[in-house]
Amino acid sequence: MPDITWENPFCAEGSSCFRLGTDPDGNGYIAVSGREDHYLTDSLEALRTLITDIKAGKADHLL
């Protein structure tokens, strides 16, 4: 498992909480809180765009 530094969980109303993480190589990670051993990884820019879109209401169905 990579050396991932996880941020505090982000929880939307009535949905699962998820966590964002980074590693020393500049990769970004996202996982459901409590299941950090099962994560998605991509570039930081790709995950930043995903989270920005979710917060803007463009992808509510993902939460």
Flag whether the pTM goes above 0.75. no
Q: Do 3 and 21 touch, CB atoms closer than 8 A?
A: no
Domain boundaries, given as residue ranges, for the chain: 5-56
CA distance 32 to 10: 9
pLDDT digits (tens, 9 = 90+) for 8-62: 988 876 667 888 888 898 888 888 888 888 887 777 788 778 777 777 777 655 5
CB-side neighbour CA atoms (13 Å) of 23: 14
Q: What is the DSSP letter of 23?
A: -
Helix (H, G, I), strand (E, B) or coil at 58: coil
